[in-house]
Amino acid sequence: MKQPDVDRLKELLNTADKIVIIPHKNPDGDAIGSTLGLYYFLSLIGKESKVMVPNDFPKFLKWIPGAKDILIYEYQTDYCKNLIAAADVIFTLDFNDFSRTGEVCKDLENTKAKFVMIDHHQQPSDYAEITYSDTSMSSTCEMVYTLVDAFGLAEKITPEMATCLYTGILTDTGSFKYRSTTSKTHRAIAQLIDQGAQGTLISQQIYDNNSPSRLKLLGIALNNLVIMPEYRTAFITMSQAELDTHNYAKGDTEGFVNYGLTLEGIIFAVIFIENKEEGIIKISFRSVGDFSVNKFARNHFNGGGHDNAAGGRSELSLEQTVEKFKALLPEYKTDLLA
C-alpha cells in the first residue's frame, strides 16, 4: 500500500465511528479471512466494525476466529440494510465491482458511506475514496497483511488475526502453489506463523473435513469429466439432480474444477454447476500459463476474476451451456495450444 493511501486511510478512520466490512457473494476462504483479519486489525487500533457477508458461507470456514459474529445479509436483511445506510466507512474486500455482492449491490449504491476497496481482481470499478487494488497480490489477505505492516503493526498481530490472514492466503494460492505466490507471500506467511497462526491445523480444518457424501459427489464429478486433448481442455458438469442425490451443501464442490488441471497436458479446466433455485449454471474456470480465463469469462459468460481463476454464469440450460462452451473452443485453439 502506498504511503499517501496509508495516510488518507488513517485520516478517514479518525473520524469514522460506524464501520462495515463486506466481501463478495458466496464468500471463499480469502473473502472470510480478509474481512475478519481486517476486523481484528481495526479493533487493534481501537475501531469497532462489523463484518457482513451477502450470503452464507461453507462449513469448512465456520471454525475461523470471529466467524460466529459475522452478519449474514440474506438472513438478517433489515438489520444489515440499516447498518449499510448508517455507515461512515465501508470496506469492500476481495471484489472489484458492487455487482459482485448480489442483492447488497443496491444498498451499496445508495449509502452515503465512504468506501475503501482492498482487492486483487482485475479492472477495479471506481467507487472508492481509497482504492487499494493490486492484481499482483496472491490474495486479499496478503493485502490486508501488507496494510497492517504499512501501519507498523506486523508485530502486534494477534493469533486470531494471523489465523484469518493465513487461511485466505492458503486457499487463494492453492496451498502456495499458484504463480501469484511470491517471496513476499512467503514472508507474510512467516510473520503470521510467528504471530501465532498454526499452519498444519488450519490446513486440516480447511481440507481434511470431507463428509462421506462430499467424496461421493467428487466421484460423480470425476465420472462426468470430459477431456478434450485437442484443446488441452477438460470440463466437468454437475446437474442439480446429481447434487441432490448426495445432500449437496454449500462449498461441497469447491476445488473440484482443479482436478482437470492435474491431467498431463491440460491447461484449461472448467466446471459447470446447475443451480435450479437461481435458474443459472455457475461456472468456474481455471488455467495454467498465459491463457486468460478472466477474459474468457468476461467475453462469454458474464463473469471475470483473475488470469488463471475466474467465474461466470449462464442462463441457458446445462446442456446448452456446454454446447455454447464447446462451440467457442475452436476460436481459442491457437491460444490454448500456444
Residues near ligand 5GP, by CB under 6 A:
24, 100, 284, 303-306, 309-313
Cα(28)–Cα(172) distance, integer angstroms: 9
Q: In the complex, what is the shortest distance from the CB of residue 36 to Mn ion, in angstroms, rounded to a whole number?
A: 14
Q: Taking CB under 5 A as the criterion, which residues in 170-189 touch Mn ion? A: 172
For ligand 5GP, the closer of residues 151 and 176 by Cβ is 176
For ligand 5GP, the closer of residues 163 and 287 by Cβ is 287
Q: Which residue's CB atom is positioned nearest to ligand 5GP? A: 311
Q: What distances in angstroms separate CA 302 from CA 15, 30, 38, 104, 299, one per listed residue?
A: 38, 22, 30, 19, 7
Residue 254 in contact with Mn ion, rule: CB under 5 A = no
Q: Choosing among Mn ion, ligand 5GP, none, which partner's interface includes residue 238 (Cβ < 5 to 8 Å by kind)?
A: none
Pairing of the two strands 309-314 and 280-287: antiparallel
CA atoms in the 13 A half-sphere facing the CB of 198 = 8
For Mn ion, the closer of residues 140 and 294 by Cβ is 140
Q: Choosing among Mn ion, ligand 5GP, none, which partner's interface includes residue 304 (Cβ < 5 to 8 Å by kind)?
A: ligand 5GP
For ligand 5GP, the closer of residues 128 and 157 by Cβ is 128
**Residues 9, 26, 30, 160: which binds Mn ion (CB under 5 A)?**
30
For ligand 5GP, the closer of residues 104 and 310 by Cβ is 310
Helix runs in the chain, H state only: 3-14, 29-44, 77-86, 105-110, 140-150, 159-172, 183-194, 199-207, 212-223, 240-245, 258-261, 293-300, 318-328, 333-337
Q: In the complex, what is the shortest distance from the CB of residue 254 to ligand 5GP, in angstroms, rounded to a whole number?
A: 7
Task: Kindly report the number of other CB atoms within 10 A of residue 319's CB atom.
Answer: 12
For ligand 5GP, the closer of residues 54 and 304 by Cβ is 304
Q: In the complex, what is the shortest distance from the CB of residue 305 to Mn ion, in angstroms, rounded to a whole number?
A: 9
Size of the site for Mn ion (CB under 5 A): 4
Region of 62-70, 133-141, 237-245, 247-255 interacting with Mn ion (CB under 5 A)? 133-141
Q: In the complex, what is the shortest distance from the CB of residue 108 to ligand 5GP, in angstroms, rounded to a whole number?
A: 16
For ligand 5GP, the closer of residues 233 and 284 by Cβ is 284
For Mn ion, the closer of residues 29 and 237 by Cβ is 29
Residue 180, Cβ density class (10 Å: 0-12 exposed, 13-18 middle, ≥19 buried): buried
Cα(185)–Cα(102) distance, integer angstroms: 30
> What amino acid occupies position 274?
E
Q: Which residues are bridge partners to 274 per DSSP?
A: 281
Q: Taking CB under 5 A as the criterion, which residues in 90-109 touch Mn ion? A: 94
Q: Choosing among ligand 5GP, Mn ion, none, which partner's interface includes residue 148 (Cβ < 5 to 8 Å by kind)?
A: none
Q: Choosing among Mn ion, ligand 5GP, none, which partner's interface includes residue 191 (Cβ < 5 to 8 Å by kind)?
A: none
Q: What distances in angstroms separate CA 23 from CA 13, 66, 271, 310, one per listed residue?
A: 19, 15, 23, 16
Q: In the complex, what is the shortest distance from the CB of residue 89 to ligand 5GP, in angstroms, rounded to a whole number?
A: 23
Cα(260)–Cα(83) distance, integer angstroms: 42
Q: In the complex, what is the shortest distance from the CB of residue 119 to Mn ion, in angstroms, rounded to a whole number?
A: 8
- Residues 172, 302, 237: CA angle, nearest 5 degrees: 70
The conformation of residue 155, written as its DSSP 8-state character, comes to G
Q: In the complex, what is the shortest distance from the CB of residue 159 to ligand 5GP, in angstroms, rounded to a whole number?
A: 27
Q: Choosing among Mn ion, ligand 5GP, none, which partner's interface includes residue 33 (Cβ < 5 to 8 Å by kind)?
A: none
Tell me if 266 sits within 8 A of 232, measured CB to CB.
yes
Task: Give the DSSP H or E segment for 289.
Answer: none
Residues lying near Mn ion in the complex (CB under 5 A): 30, 94, 140, 172
